[in-house]
Amino acid sequence: MSSEENNAGRLDAVAPAIELIGISKAFGPVQANKDISMTVAKGAIHGIVGENGAGKSTLMSILYGFYKADSGSVKINGVPTTINDSHDAIAAGIGMVHQHFMLVDNFTVLENVILGAEEGATLGPSLRKARKELKRLADEYELDVDPDALIEDISVGFQQRVEILKALYRQAEILILDEPTGVLTPDEADHLFRILRNLKDQGKTIVIITHKLREIMDVTDSVSVMRRGEMTKTIATNTTSPEDLAEAMVGRRVLLEVNKKPVEVGETVMQVKGLSVTDVHGVMRLKDVSFELKRGEILGIAGVAGNGQSELLEVIAGIGAATSGEVLMHGEAIDVSKHANAELRRHRGISHVPEDRHQRGLVMPFMTWENTAFGYHNEPEYSGKFGLANQKYMKKDAREKMERFDIRPPIPQLVASHFSGGNQQKIVLAREIERNPDVLLIGQPTRGVDIGAIEFIHQQIVNLRDAGKAILLVSVELDEIQALSDRILVMFDGVIQGERLPENTNEGELGLLMAGVDPEAKQ
């Protein structure tokens, strides 16, 4: 499947930076990679797209020595190379920036950069050398970071730069980035792409794993599509389109936009007034937040992760406590103190699809029929006599929900952890939406969900809105906020930084608000 076209116009006879030949890898019965061959030209930016579980990360982990391939071989710069662990990878000039950063929080930038690459018994000489090198890299690639700042004090955007610096300090010629923009503001993402282009101009080879098609179109020279462990397509980026890539990923035509009727707003259902939250460390996470939520609208809350959206959802859902302020439901105050109980919230007509379905929304070792009643398990229909559960009804109910929400495989006895991300999310959605709540709180509805399932989930949310329900949507995916919301609030540092209507704004303006800049104030 490897082809010369993906060298994206580079005609020189230089050996490709990376050549994977017939890589296969199975985990138990799951074939994560099937006979994959791929070539990345030296000095190119190459994208790998695919749904969750398509095998992208496995392939890159094989290249970086985390996993050993069952069969196949690797050539780096034309030389057959055996990579047994990350040391071999680094020696071969490969650096990797993981989705979840591998940094020591209470170390400085400099200490993190030399970690594992210290020379000699004392740190002094290594630190001095690294300081000089960091200065040079910063000038060359727009990679400026304060070398003496602690990791915990700098933003995720800067933390990511530290990861890149770590790789460059180890003389990486090939850089692999796994979902690099997941935690960045649009502005930070743009900066990252500038850095990547600079690196490319200096002859470095870059591989980006992502599920965001727009990024692929923006920054890559060539792109490979993976589906179910196979590489279905490798093509020069300028000869393809997002629609084509989506089709190659999913195996069928995908609707990238949401079909939505114009909004018909009803009366106010929920009022949030002056809500503030201070965490256990005394840090204010939510600062005097007020808004109203009306029947028949989707109110989207945009923002980079960690700017108070989670706390807001938790307080309204009865999980977290507010330090001040109140929430009114149909004009009546609900308990936002630490005595609040999530079960009582459900009785008030508030359902909640939590941001973290692994930790909160589902009990992973529970069977589906146990999960489809979770949180409602004390409701009369799920209860038997003497404190027993009505397991017969729970199973029947689960079977029906699985059918209506097309949850696959439709086996109520299967435990939650055995489902794909999209199907897990559908289990949560089926449970919460089918209670027919007045207000649905929904956090990161499509995080870790396949494109095919995203379409379905978005449609369910819109249907609920069209049925006259109020929806509070929190998402870090700006695309999703823009596609679904009837009104957008942008949060930054615990404050509502601005309110916009989706038709009157654009990504640039929202991005500035997300970064704490008020574009109107500047004028």
Partner 1 sequence: MNKNLPKWVDLGLIPLLTLALAFAVSGLVVLSIGQDPIEVVKVMIQGAFNPFGIGHTLYFTTNFIFTGLAVAVAFHARLFNIGGEGQAGLAGVGVAIVMLSYDWPHWSIALVVGVMAAMAFGAAWAAIPAYLQAKRGSHIVITTIMFNLIATALIGYLLVGPMQAEGSLPESPGFPAAAALPSMHVILGWFGIEFDKFAPANISFFLALIAALLVWILIWKTRLGYEMRAFGHSEKAAVYAGISPMKITMIAMLISGALSGMMAVNTVQGEAERLVLGAVEGAGFIGIAVALMGRSHPVGVLLAAFLFGILTQGGAELQFSLGIPAQMITVIQALIIMFTGSLENLVRIPMEKIFIRAGKGAS
Judged by the rule CB under 8 A, the positions of this chain that interact with partner 1 are 28-29, 317-319, 341-346, 352, 354, 356, 359-366, 370, 374-375, 377-378, 382-383, 386-389, 391, 415, 418
Evaluate whether 474 touches 309 at the Cβ level (below 8 Å): yes
Evaluate whether 423 touches 408 at the Cβ level (below 8 Å): yes
Query: Closer to partner 1 at the Cβ: 169 or 374?
Result: 374
In angstroms, give the least distance from the CB of 409 to partner 1.
13
In angstroms, give the least distance from the CB of 99 to partner 1.
21
Query: Closer to partner 1 at the Cβ: 386 or 522?
Result: 386
Query: Closer to partner 1 at the Cβ: 186 or 448?
Result: 448
In angstroms, give the least distance from the CB of 245 to partner 1.
33
205: Cα within 13 Å, side-chain hemisphere: 22
Query: Closer to partner 1 at the Cβ: 19 or 397?
Result: 397
Q: Which residues touch 97 (CB under 8 Å, ≥6 apart)?
A: 160, 163, 164, 167, 175, 176, 177, 178, 180
CA distance 147 to 143: 11
In angstroms, give the least distance from the CB of 347 to partner 1.
9
Phi, psi of 352 (to 5 degrees): -140, 120
In angstroms, give the least distance from the CB of 392 to partner 1.
12
Q: Quick check: helix, strand or coil at residue 208?
A: strand
CA distances from 477 to 104, 186, 304 (A): 27, 10, 9
Q: Which residues touch 42 (CB under 8 Å, ≥6 apart)?
A: 10, 14, 15, 16, 17, 77, 203, 205
Name the residue type at position 198.
Answer: N
Query: Closer to partner 1 at the Cβ: 212 or 357?
Result: 357
In angstroms, give the least distance from the CB of 354 to partner 1.
6
Query: Closer to partner 1 at the Cβ: 158 or 374?
Result: 374
Orientation angle between helical segments 186-201 and 124-141, nearest 10 degrees: 100
In angstroms, give the least distance from the CB of 280 to partner 1.
12
CA distance 176 to 178: 7
Query: Closer to partner 1 at the Cβ: 175 or 340?
Result: 340
In angstroms, give the least distance from the CB of 251 to partner 1.
23
């009505």: which residue's tokens? Answer: 390
Length of the chain as a residue count: 523
Q: Quote the radius of gyration of the chain (alpha carbons, Å).
A: 25
In angstroms, give the least distance from the CB of 346 to partner 1.
7
Query: Closer to partner 1 at the Cβ: 195 or 342?
Result: 342
Evaluate whether 430 touches 402 at the Cβ level (below 8 Å): yes
